[in-house]
Every structure is written in C-alpha cells, then in structure tokens.
Amino acid sequence: MGTAFSLVGQDLPGSGNASGPFDPGYVEIQDFPRLQFPFTIMAWVRIPATSNMGIYPIFSTGQGIPAAFRGVSFGVQRLGATGNFVRLTFEFGDGSSYNFANVRSCFQTINANLINADRMIHVAVRATNANNIQFFINGTLQGGFCNGGASVTQPGYPPIIQANNARIGSHQRQNNELFNGDIDEISVWESALTDQQIRTFMCRKIPPATNNLLAYYKLDELNATDTIVDSSTNNYFGLPVGSVPKILSEAAIGDESTFIYPSPFNGVLQHISSTGDTVTTSAIPPNLTGTTGIHIYTVLDTPNTFNSMGDDSLCLPGHYHGVYLARVSSFTGPNLPPNFQRVNVTINGPTSPYFGKYIRGRNDSPTWFLQAPPTSIGNSVETDVPFRREIITRQESFDYDPNMPADFVTCNYPDTILVNDFPQGNLNWSGPSGGSTGSQLIINGPGTYTLTADGFCSNTPQTYSITVDPDTIRLDTTLTFCEGDSVVFFDTIVFTDTPFQYTRDSAACDTIYSVSINYSNETIPRDTSAVLCRGESFAHGNNVFTEEGTFNYIINNPNGCDFEYTVDIVVLEDPEIFLDFEDNQLCDGDELQLRVLNIGDGDVLWNTNETSSTIIVTQAGVYAVEVTGDCGVQSESVQIEVINCLPRLFIPSAFTPNGDGRNDVFLVKGSTVASFTMYIYDRWGNEVFSTNTIDEGWDGNINGQPAPMGVYVYSIIATGFETEDILRERGSISLIR
C-alpha cells in the first residue's frame, strides 16, 4: 500500500480535467509496487501533431538508479527527421538503453491521420508475459512487434533496499524525457485485461474497489501543484515535480457506458441509462472507414459549463449523454470532408416530454449549441454524430409555484397581492379593475381576478384565480365544557353558561359566530408531565411522584366534571463515559473513541476543551468530562494507557556457519509476533533464502552449497497480535567462515 494521504480527489462531471503538457514537469509516485507479468496500463492521450524526435513516456516504473532503465515504460516514440513517424512503445527489463541484451522493446505504429487530427485517443498495453505484448487503440487490438532482450522474462528493478517509484509523463533515463502532450484517466491493473474489460473501462469512471485495479489517476485536480490522487483503494498518491498544468479534458468519459465492436460493423447500439433514458444509434455508414466500435456514455451530473444556454439551464436534467465513435484512423485537419455521412442518435425519455436539445463536441468545448426543437413536442429527440458528440435534453416542464392556492379568496379591498419571483417569462393579470403585468396585483373592487404565467420552459400557461368577496361570513358552533370551567375561543378565554355571539376580526372577511353551550357531567381526560433529576419530586393534586413512569388518577371537581389525569414522569439519567474497546489500553499509533451517554440537553466539556459528546484519543493520560444540564453538573474520568503493540525483534549482525555448534544459523528472535516473513539477498540483489516463520533461520547454504563469505541484505515484514500495523526491517548481515 502507498502512503495514506488524507486527500479526496475531485469528482468533476464527465472527463473533468487532464494534465499536460508535461514540460518541464512530471508526476512522481513514491513506493509504487514492482509490476510483474501479467498487467495492463491504459490512458487517454493527446499527442501533438508536430513534435521533435524522442521518447515521450506516459507511465513508467522502476526509477531506482539515475541514467539507467529498469522496470517498465509505456509511451510514445517520435522518429524521422521532424518526428513525423509515431508509434506506441513498451519497454521492460534491466539495462541502460534500447536494444541491450537485458532490455526488451515492443512497438506499434499509430495511424498518422489519427495524430494529425489533434484529438485525444485511448491507448492501452496488455502485457501477458515477455512474449505476449499487445497494444490497443480506442479499444481495438493492434499489431506490433518486439525486439531485443530475448532472454528477459520479467521487468528488472533496483535492489529491494532502494526505493521503487513510478512516474506519469516521464521516466528516469538520460535527458529525463517528458511527455509533450496531454494525459488523462491513467489506470494500472495487476492482470491482463480481456478485450471486453478494456472496452468496459474505456469510456466510464472506474469504481475504486474493482478487482485487480492497482492504481487509478483521474487527474481532475484543479491546480498545477496539487497532489495527484489515486482513486483506487490503494492510495498511491503522486506529487508534481515542476509544473504540471491542468486543462479541461476532452476524453470521452461518463459514469456509465455501453459499447459495441462487431465486425463487420453493421449493427446498432442501444444504451439504457440509470436515469431511464434510452439512447440508440443507427448503423455506421460505409464511408466511416476506420471506425471499429461505438461507445454511448452517461454523465450523472450537470455539465461543466452552461455557455449559450442562458435561462434554459433551469430546464435541463441533472445528466447528459455522449456518443464516441472508436476510430483507428481519422481525417487530416479540423474540418469534415463534403458529403460526410454521420451516425444518427435517438434519445427517448421515460416521462418528461422533450422540447429540444443542446449539443457540443466534447467536455472541453466551451459552448453548447441549441438545435431547433421538433415540430411537435414528444418524448424523443434526434441528432447526428460525425466523430463524437455530447447531448443534453431541454425538457418541456412547468413547475411554478406563486405561493398561493389555485383558488384564493380575499375579503378586503383595496388590497395588493404579491407573488414570489418568477424565474422567466410573463405574469399577466386580468379582472374587473383592469389587468396588470408583473408580480403585483392591486385589487380595487369585488370580483374574480386571474393570474396567467407562461414562458418558463415551454409555452404552456398556468392560471390562478383570486376571488374578492366583501361580505361578512356567519358560522354556528357549539361549545361543551363543565360548569364553572373556561374555554379558549380564538385566543380569548370565555367563562359563560349562556349562549353568546363572537365576532372575529380578520384582514379578509369578518366572521360572526353564534355559539350555544352544552354542559357535560362526563369525566374529562387531561394530561400533564414533568422532567425530574434524581432525588427530585413532582407534586400534583394530592400525589407526589419521584419515579419514572405513566400514572393515572382522578381529581374531583365539585363545580362540574371530574378530571382524569394522565401524568408522564421522566427521570434524567446521570452521564457515563463509554469506551469502544473492552479495556483502557491503546496501541501506540492507534486511536480510541470516548463517548458520553445520557447527556440529554446538557452541555459537554472535556479537559481537552472539546465540547462534542464523542472524542478521539491517541495519547495516554486521564480524560475527564463534565456535563452541565438541568440536573446540575455531572463528571466522569478515565485513565488511558498507551502500549506498544508492534513486534519486538532481535536481529544478529553476523553469523559463522562453520559447524562448531555456535552461531551457525542466522536466526531472528522476537516476541508478540503474529506473522513473520524474511528474505535474504546477495549483493547483486539475488534471493538466496526466504522463510515465513520466525523459528526458521538461514544455515549459510545456497541450493545446498556453502555460500561465500561477505555481506548479505535481509528484508523482514512482521505483524503483532495487538495491531494490524506492519513492522518492516531492512539491513545487512555478515557471513563469516
């Protein structure tokens, strides 16, 4: 695992940002794992149409020794007098330059038109073994050849005691060559992905916990100096060295995607998104030569720009779709040839009818273009795709709330009616006192006034009616209560035993109530409650309560109805400290959660000055807390002890395997060891001994023969019983005969 930085990667819509050009900067990834066959490397890249000769690395590993090539390197090579010949390159081995006996190089030529179009393309290398290296362009398997290093079977690396790093946009070779272009969406896999898997993850974001995903760099950081986040679960973060500019990416990336790669290509592709849209393409026309597949992807977010949409952005859904024609060749120049055929795309929505669509070429396009709405509104829109296109639908919807019911009655005039802000379009009033426009209506007399709102996302108007009635409203009601009791009537306390009239003034119509009185001899239920601290009591009637519970009793009323009371008593509990461990011991470097229970509405104060009910503890000491509440101040404390849970090892510095019975074996001793692995290497980095148990040592033999005297290097990895932390030890021992 790499260093666990506390960082969260940007999650920008679509392909987000990319990095480039990598000149003079690059990205350094420290302590990156040593790649062994099989593995796969994929990325989106834009190679400049003109560039100098040389190697332009996309991703490399094994930066152990300056000016020497060790590990693997995936990149682009420019050949020719002006660098006009382009090919993908993949090298692995242990040497200093091309064509050495211990370096194997593989190549695949890229169609020049694809580069001259100055577009991002998807490239991948699948390394199954030393003799099976395959290249992919836009998800299509290419040819290629390998030379040199016929006996090389695995990538070579520096000795294990030296750091093994990786780089994006560079490798550590003579002249420190850099990638003079743009890179996005790099993923490294610990398996040889199938053709289907390469296409599956070509046009969609990769879930962090995907099987065999070793590292994943979206390169969506906002600034040239930001830490480069690994979006896999392994956290192999990178640090920019020099300047690594950030630009909008043009890669065809969504949150979900569907693809088709038949041969010959005569079918159609249908993608049903999680939003319910169905996106369908027509078959590829015959003159779209070089197109080997189609990808449809969906971005489950609003786009990175609403340029040229204006207020229509309020009418757009929170997702959009993209179509990418996977090509292995392209046109020279930015303009399409005359009579160029295109792939037709249809989007069918689940419910909301569409009123049109906006389109743009790709994620880095600054402007969307509105295509004219269809002659009749429906659940379908169509467009065409020359190379790639992103589409967002403009919906027919109207959800305007003027903050009043559809039929509103007022009894007061003159009066002024205001509605809330209308996002766009027109508000028109009509009525007996004339019409007005805007959010304000002045009522000068009785009658019916109509508000019409239109022009939001469509031309479908909505109407609201306001009726002005100047009459007084008369209502009859009956009150039932006990003799001598009172009743609250519209915030007024009334004591009476005879019928009466009550006039309620209102900003609208006044209301006159004719009230009759009905006496009752029934028992009337009443409720009360109390919250007590421990030791307190609550008195009600002739009853005294000290315990928690629900109690029922009757209080006689000599003037009328008896009252049956239900009393709820709540007794507040004292606070207590809760540990999420069984004891109060804490391993050094770990953390422990302390939590206060039963605080109610009290205020919490720890001796660490924290005021939350839960704190995190990492050091030994006494932790005390006070809770100030309705019952005064309660306090608790706990003693935390920090212990070292890592294994303790004793490692000799030398041994003498001469058969005299003393110090004949290099043996490591230790305590609290749960697991133990040890490797021993000679000074050339060759493994001479390994063991998975601490009770087994090295007897000084290699393949049954005595090893020569000298210095050897050991590497130990161990874990303890009390923690999942890993103890790593490296050093040297002397073999003396």
The predicted-structure confidence for 324-348, as pLDDT tens digits, reads as follows 988 887 654 445 555 556 777 888 8
> What per-residue confidence (pLDDT) applies to 9?
52
Is 508's pLDDT higher than 70? Answer: no
Place of tokens 């027509």: 282
Which CATH number fits the domain that encloses residue 614?
A: 2.60.40.10
Q: What is the mean pLDDT of residues 469-473?
A: 60
Position 402 in a domain: no
- Asked if 307 and 368 count as a contact pair (C-beta separation under 8 A), the reply is yes
- Backbone φ, ψ for residue 197 (5° rounding): -65, -40
Are 682 and 664 found together in one domain? Answer: yes
Tell whether 356 and 415 lie within a shared domain. no
How confident is the model over 459-481, as a mean pLDDT? Answer: 65
* Selected residue with higher pLDDT from 704 and 643: 704
- The pLDDT of residue 469: 64
Residue 151 lies in a domain: yes
Q: Are residues 417 and 362 in the same domain?
A: no
551/683 same-domain check: no
Q: Is 187 within 8 Å of 219 (Cβ atoms)?
A: no
pLDDT of residue 385: 61
- The pLDDT assigned to 230 comes to 95
Structure-token pair, residue 352: 């909301």
Beta bridge partners of 394: 356
Q: Specify the 3-state DSSP secondary structure of 112.
A: helix
Maximum mean pLDDT: which of 25-34, 196-205, 641-650: 196-205
Is the pLDDT reported for residue 579 higher than 70?
Answer: no
The winner for highest mean pLDDT among 26-30, 555-559, 561-565, 638-642 is: 26-30
Domain boundary among 600, 627, 643: 643
Query: 559 in a domain, yes or no?
Result: yes
Average pLDDT (175-199) is 91
195: phi then psi, degrees, rounded to nearest 5? -55, -40
Instruction: Classify residue 6: in a domain, yes or no.
Output: no
Q: What pLDDT, on a 0 to 100 scale, did the predictor assign at position 376?
A: 43
**Binning pLDDT at 50, 70 and 90, where does residue 639 land?**
confident
Bin 312: left if φ > 0, else alpha if -120 < ψ < 50, else beta.
Answer: alpha
Pairwise CA distance, residues 525 & 552, whole Å: 10
pLDDT(528) > 70 = yes
**455 and 498 within one domain:** no
Exposure of 585 by Cβ count < 10 A (0-12 exposed, 13-18 middle, 19+ buried)?
A: middle
Asked if pLDDT for residue 306 goes beyond 70, the answer is yes
CATH of the domain at 380: 2.60.220
Residue-level pLDDT at 375: 46
> Which of 36-45, 358-367, 491-500, 691-700 comes out lowest in average pLDDT?
491-500
**What's the CA gap between 651 and 668, in Å, rounded?**
5
Give residue-wise pLDDT tens across range 126-139.
Answer: 999 998 999 999 99
Whether 421 and 463 share a structural domain? yes
Element (H, E) at 12: none
Question: Which of 137-151, 391-405, 453-467 ranks highest by mean pLDDT?
Answer: 137-151
Residues 131 and 36 in one domain: yes
Domain-ending residue, one of 643, 662, 688: 643
Residue 65: Cβ within 10 Å count: 15
Q: Following DSSP, what letter does each residue of 497-566 receive, concatenated?
A: SS-EEEEE--SS--EEEEEEEEE--SPEEEEEEEEE-TT--EEETTEEE-S-EEEEEEE--TTS--EEEE
- Rounded CA-CA distance 530/641 in Å is 42
Round to whole Å and give the CA distance between 574 and 626: 11
For residue range 648-683, what is the model confidence (pLDDT) as tens digits? 788 998 999 988 888 999 999 887 788 899 999 988
Instruction: Give the domain extent around 589.
Output: 576-643
Distance between CA atoms of residues 327 and 116, nearest Å: 14
**What is the rounded CA–CA span in Å between residue 389 and residue 329?**
18
E strand or H helix at 327, and its extent? strand 320-327
pLDDT for residue 497 is more than 90: no
Other CB atoms within a 10 A radius of the CB of residue 421 amount to 7
Exposed/middle/buried for residue 47 (C-beta within 10 Å: 0-12, 13-18, 19+): buried
pLDDT on residue 504: 65
**10 versus 67: which is more confidently predicted?**
10
**Over the stretch 614-628, which tens digit does the pLDDT of each residue have?**
888 888 888 888 888
CA 674/CA 8 separation, integer angstroms: 33
E-assigned strands of 24-120? 26-29, 39-46, 54-61, 69-79, 85-95, 103-109
pLDDT at 299 over 80: yes
pLDDT average, residue stretch 158-169: 80
Contact 156, 49 (CB under 8 A): no
Is position 442 within any domain? yes
Question: Can you tell me the mean pLDDT for 518-530?
Answer: 72
- Residue-level pLDDT at 315: 73
403 pLDDT above the threshold of 90: no
212: closest CA among 243, 234, 229? 234
The predicted-structure confidence for 240-290, as pLDDT tens digits, reads as follows 998 889 999 999 999 999 999 876 566 688 999 998 888 888 877 766 777
Q: Is the pLDDT of residue 198 over 70?
A: yes
Q: What is the mean pLDDT of residues 188-197?
A: 96
pLDDT of 703 > 80? The answer is yes
pLDDT(3) > 50: no
Rounded to whole angstroms, how far apart are CA atoms 82 and 115? Answer: 14
In the chain, % of residues over pLDDT 90: 23
Residue from 639, 637, 644, 593 nearest 618 by CA: 593
Same domain flag for 224 and 269: no
Q: Of 248, 279, 305, which closes a domain?
A: 248
List, in order, residues 6 or more apart from 336 with CB less than 8 Å away.
386
Across the chain, mean pLDDT equals: 79
Q: What is the CATH number of the domain that holds 181?
A: 2.60.120.200
Q: What is the pLDDT of residue 141?
A: 93
* Predicted confidence band of residue 6 (pLDDT cuts 50, 70, 90): very low
Q: How confident is the model at residue 351 (pLDDT cuts 50, 70, 90)?
A: low
- What pLDDT sits at residue 2? 43
Residue bearing tokens 């390998």: 146
Query: In angstroms, what CA-CA distances link 617 with 194, 576, 584?
Result: 48, 17, 11
**Residues 172, 32 within the same domain:** yes
Question: What's the token pair of residue 272?
Answer: 């049903």
Residue 469 near residue 447 (C-beta atoms within 8 A): no
Tokens of 172: 């550590």
CA angle, corner 650, sides to 649 and 653, nearest 5?
135
Residue 258, pLDDT score: 95
Per the model's pLDDT, the better-predicted residue between 536 and 192 turns out to be 192
How confident is the model over 432-468, as pLDDT tens digits? Answer: 765 566 667 777 777 777 777 765 555 456 676 777 6
Q: Which helix (H) or strand (E) holds 400?
A: none
Tell whether 211 and 152 lie within a shared domain. Answer: yes
Cα–Cα distance for residue pair 291/341, rounded to 1 Å:
12
Instruction: Quote the pLDDT of residue 471.
Output: 59
Question: Can you tell me the distance from the alpha carbon of 155 to that of 71, in angstroms, rounded to the nearest whole number?
Answer: 5
- Given this model, what pLDDT does residue 291 score? 81
Q: Where are the alpha helices (DSSP H) in 495-629?
A: none
Where does the pLDDT of residue 506 fall: very low under 50, low under 70, confident under 90, or very high at 90 and above?
low
User: Using CA atoms, how far apart are residues 438 and 421, in angstroms rounded to an integer?
Assistant: 10
pLDDT class for 5, splitting at 50, 70, 90?
very low
Give CA torsion, residues 661, 663, 666, 671, to 10 deg.
110
pLDDT at 221: 92
Q: How far is CA 612 from CA 479, 593, 595, 619, in A?
A: 51, 12, 9, 18
pLDDT of 394 above 90: no
Q: In this structure, are 372 and 431 located in the same domain?
A: no
Q: Does the pLDDT at position 196 exceed 60?
A: yes
Task: Indicate the number of domains in the chain.
Answer: 7
Residue 75 domain-assigned?
A: yes
Residue type (1 letter), 373: P
User: Would residue 451 count as lying in a domain?
Assistant: yes
The torsion region of residue 235 among left (phi > 0), alpha (psi -120 to 50) and beta comes to: left
- How far, rounded to the nearest angstrom, does the alpha carbon of residue 178 sit from its chain's CA centroid? 31
Q: How far apart are CA 86 and CA 722, in angstroms?
A: 56
Give the whole-angstrom CA distance, residue 434 versus residue 546. 70
Are 45 and 113 in the same domain?
yes
Considering only CA atoms, give the Rg of the chain.
39
Query: Does residue 207 contact residue 200 with C-beta atoms inside 8 Å?
Result: no
Domain presence at residue 39: yes
Residue type, 179: F
In contact, 281 and 257? CB cutoff 8 Å: no
Prediction pTM value: 0.58
pLDDT digits (tens, 9 = 90+) for 110-125: 877 777 667 889 999 9
